[in-house]
Amino acid sequence: MTMIATPTTTPEPLVITEQTFLGQNFIAGEWQVADTTFDNMSPNHTNKLVGRFPNSTAKDVDAAVRAAVDAYPAWKKTPAPERAKVLYRLALILEGMKEDMAREMTLEMGKSLEEARGDIQEAIDMAYYVAAEGRRLFGQTTPSELPNKWAMTLRQPVGVCGLITPWNFPIAVPSWKLLPCILAGNTVVFKPAEDAPLMGQRFVEAFDQAGLPKGVLNLVQGIGNQAGKALVEHKDVRLISFTGSSETGAQVAKTCGEQLKRVALEMGGKNACIVMEDADIALAAKGLAWGAFGTSGQRCTATSRLLVQSSVKDALLDKLLEHTHALDVGDTNEGAAIGPLVNQAQLDKVLRYIEIGKNEGARLRCGGERVNREGFFVSPTIFDNVTPSMRIAQEEIFGPVLSVIEFDTFEEAIEIANGVEYGLSSAIFTNSMSQAFRAINELEAGITYVNAPSIGAEVHLPFGGVKKTGNGHREAAETALDIFTEWKTVYIDYSGELQRAQIDNY
């Protein structure tokens, strides 16, 4: 494993050349420059410039919203199977762009090339899946309580939607939002995270190549507290879908509530993996290393708490430490499996939590320091002797830090797992069918894995959580359509008489 220490080298000065990539907004079908820009730096190299991107203001957001408003009537009237054809073309285009995009993704936000390819493949899979829903935007027919009367329901689009996405899955997560939103007949203003603007632009370039009509999808780059805030507050935006921190999500929800605007939130997690004494210990150790340290722990589904039964704790930790020490930490552009944290602020946050863990009395078993190389690297970190009330066991760290908590009984494990404010993903390793099904029923989480770690998702299954993780919506699968459509109920009375429902006719 790479030696760890505080870097002592001084980064070279940032060099701007005529070849520096200059990102643009995409409004009403036209690529546009902004008055000011921000620098997008690679987390693999503290002085490596990915490009300069629009630092959009409320003025830019307003122009994008107006374009979406103008495009909405025609797109709403376009038959859903026709809208779906754009998504089929998009899938083919993304397949052709996949390798180049994956390499740019590793440069921009630091995940491994293997993970980046998977990120884009998820969007490809989602495009094919959602496109098929163009012929399955089903409503219902149901008997009326009155004679000679027909009753049915149908889905209709919401209107102009603002979609705000994170940097850790810069293509996959936008696909969960953009694809069902557009398929349903809405128009969009899309604001990617400021740490992954290049991926946001590449995704919109693919939509443009697929022949999406002008104004249906508009891209506004920028900083969250400026461009994102303006999008959330805009009076003509009917819906906000946000993925990010619980703190920011609470502010988004407050603003949307004041405007009676629909809002779908996907936020944090503090996911637990339970390992029972009858589990396959070798499988559990391998799964935990991936669940805790994949994407450097920068997943809302990352395994951040290991709950292990006392009788197998030592055996499991020995194998887990072996897997952890074997992880290759370094520049993902050079093939490393575990890359950097996304930026300086995230690095500072993770290092601060490591100090909190030490001060709380947890035992540091490995890692715990910055890797001695340029970039925002922290070695995979495992704390033992953690108690459920410690901050490192309660608060989302969003980095490669795993807290190990010991328990004696299954009931105790469930209580500890549920004893946090979040409820996104959960996992249990056991060969007991009884314990597996009890965990499925008793764990307070939107996702439960049996004999697998807490990370990962499939596009045809709902994704989301409970408690402070979200506000009840589910992304992906057909449940995403419930976010981006309104239900309309239709009554057709062909009796030729005045019939009055909800009047006592008896």
The confidence score (pLDDT) of residue 334 equals 84
**pLDDT greater than 60 at residue 100:** yes
**pLDDT greater than 60 at residue 12:** no
Model confidence pLDDT, tens digit, residues 189-201: 999 999 999 999 9
CA 412 – CA 276 distance, rounded (Å):
12
CA of 233: how far to CAs of 63, 161, 223, in Å? 14, 12, 15
* Phi, psi at 431, each rounded to 5°: -105, 10
* Segment 266-292 mean pLDDT: 97
The confidence score (pLDDT) of residue 503 equals 81
SS (H, E, C) 183-249: HCCCEEEEECCCCCHHHHHHHHHHHHHCCCCCCCEEECCCCHHHHHHHHHHCCCCCEEEEECCHHHH
Terminal-residue alpha carbon distance, the chain: 80
Signed CA dihedral, 325, 327, 331, 334: sign only: positive
CA of 454: how far to CAs of 143, 242, 367, in Å? 43, 22, 22
The confidence score (pLDDT) of residue 502 equals 83
25-267+470-488, CATH topology level: Aldehyde Dehydrogenase; Chain A, domain 1 (3.40.605)
Catalytic choice (266, 374, 406, 475): 266
Model confidence pLDDT, tens digit, residues 346-403: 999 999 999 999 999 999 999 999 998 899 999 999 999 999 999 999 999 999 999 9
- 115-148 in b/e form (b: 16+ CB < 10 A) is bbbbbbbbbbbbbebbbebbeebeeeeeeeeeee
| Higher-scoring residue by pLDDT: 2, 334 | 334
Query: Smallest Cα–Cα separation from 447: which of 261, 244, 302?
Result: 302
The confidence score (pLDDT) of residue 20 equals 83
The confidence score (pLDDT) of residue 1 equals 32
**pLDDT greater than 60 at residue 10:** no
Structure-token match 């994170």, residue found: 166
Model confidence pLDDT, tens digit, residues 204-240: 999 999 999 999 999 999 999 999 999 999 999 999 9
SS3 at position 488:
strand
SS3 at position 430:
coil
Say if CB 272 and CB 437 are below 8 A apart: no
Catalytic choice (161, 300, 374, 396): 300
Q: pTM of the predicted model, to two decimals?
A: 0.94
Model confidence pLDDT, tens digit, residues 441-484: 999 999 999 999 999 999 999 999 999 999 999 999 999 999 99
CA 296 – CA 314 distance, rounded (Å):
24
SS3 at position 133:
helix
The confidence score (pLDDT) of residue 506 equals 67
**pLDDT greater than 90 at residue 331:** no
**pLDDT greater than 70 at residue 18:** no
CA of 337: how far to CAs of 282, 341, 344, 377, in Å? 20, 13, 20, 12
Model confidence pLDDT, tens digit, residues 246-272: 999 999 999 999 999 999 999 999 999
The mean pLDDT value of the chain amounts to: 94
**pLDDT greater than 50 at residue 9:** no
Angle at 152 between CA 147 and CA 153, to 5 degrees: 155
| Higher-scoring residue by pLDDT: 29, 336 | 29
Tell me the CATH number for domain 271-450. Answer: 3.40.309.10
Percent of the chain with pLDDT over 70: 96
Polymer length in residues for the chain: 506
CA 95 – CA 123 distance, rounded (Å):
10
Neighbouring CB atoms inside 10 A of 339's CB total 28
CA 340 – CA 374 distance, rounded (Å):
10
CA 217 – CA 213 distance, rounded (Å):
8
**pLDDT greater than 70 at residue 88:** yes
Domain boundaries along the sequence of the chain: 25-267+470-488, 271-450
Q: What is the DSSP letter of 478?
A: T
**pLDDT greater than 50 at residue 11:** no
What contacts 24+ positions apart, CB below 8 Å, involve 17-20? 20/49, 20/51, 20/52
Is 266 noted as a catalytic residue in this protein? yes
Is 181 noted as a catalytic residue in this protein? no
**pLDDT greater than 60 at residue 114:** yes
Say if CB 81 and CB 134 are below 8 A apart: yes
315 alpha carbon, distance to own chain's centre: 34
Confidence of residue 4 (pLDDT cuts 50, 70, 90): very low
The confidence score (pLDDT) of residue 394 equals 98
